[in-house]
């Protein structure tokens, strides 16, 4: 069981990946540029945190695809334009309402779409609700875990595009936790990262065909 976390080096990455609260969830940290030399066969999961610059990841798209086709898992969180370095992703941006909860009767519209999924033994709907940056039009056959108010996917698992698995979300918890802004994002990571470790420990490498 091992998790490699990409570390682009911004202040919110330092707080989220290096500070004691979450550091133990990652077996190794590496800069995007180091993907060219890291032995990816040692890892089951690669985590790409929020706001990782896509131009630093795009040169390694081939290595990521090889990793996926060996049965690995790639997790990509929001505002990283993962469609530029991972296959099968179609993303639509939307204007962000940063202060929606100040409106009377406010409801951002986020809903859990797969309540029986193991992730939601760790997370509640409120833990996924802070604001939205956009949605996905994923390939047929993916497992949609959460949607926006229009029913569009904002968190899904794709085991159809490659021989591995991609966990893709437009939510950006690492950025906000590391910026000490939006308590829901800390609750999200408090649940998501233990689930990530459990999932890596109990799932075999997936091979199809």
Whole-model pTM over 0.95: no
b (16+ CB within 10 A) / e for 90-123: ebeeeeeeeeeeeeeeeeeebbbbbeebebbebb
Q: Which domains, from first to last, does the chain contain?
A: 3-202 (3.40.50.880)
pLDDT in tens, 37-95: 999 999 999 999 999 999 999 999 999 999 999 999 999 999 999 999 999 999 999 88
Asked if 57 and 84 touch (Cβ cutoff 8 Å), the reply is yes
pLDDT in tens, 126-154: 999 998 999 999 999 999 999 999 999 99
């Amino acid at each position: 069981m091992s998790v490699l976390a990409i570390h682009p080096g911004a202040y919110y990455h330092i707080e989220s990946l290096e500070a004691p609260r979450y550091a133990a969830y990652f077996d190794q940290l590496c800069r995007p540029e180091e993907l060219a030399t890291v032995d990816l066969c040692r890892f089951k999961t690669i985590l790409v945190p929020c706001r990782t610059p896509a131009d630093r990841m795009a040169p390694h798209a081939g290595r990521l695809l090889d990793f996926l086709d060996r049965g690995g898992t790639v997790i990509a969180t929001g505002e990283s334009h993962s469609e530029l370095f991972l296959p099968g992703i179609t993303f639509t941006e939307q204007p962000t309402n940063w202060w929606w909860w100040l409106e009377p009767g406010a409801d951002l519209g986020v809903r859990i779409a797969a309540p029986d999924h193991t992730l939601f033994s760790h997370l509640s709907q409120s833990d996924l609700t802070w604001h939205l940056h956009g949605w996905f039009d994923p390939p047929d056959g993916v497992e949609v875990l959460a949607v926006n108010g229009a029913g569009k996917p904002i968190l899904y698992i794709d085991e159809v595009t490659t021989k591995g698995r991609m966990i893709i979300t437009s939510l950006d918890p690492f950025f906000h936790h590391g910026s000490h802004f939006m308590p829901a994002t800390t609750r999200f990571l408090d649940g998501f990262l233990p689930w990530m470790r459990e999932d890596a420990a109990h799932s075999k490498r997936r091979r199809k065909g």
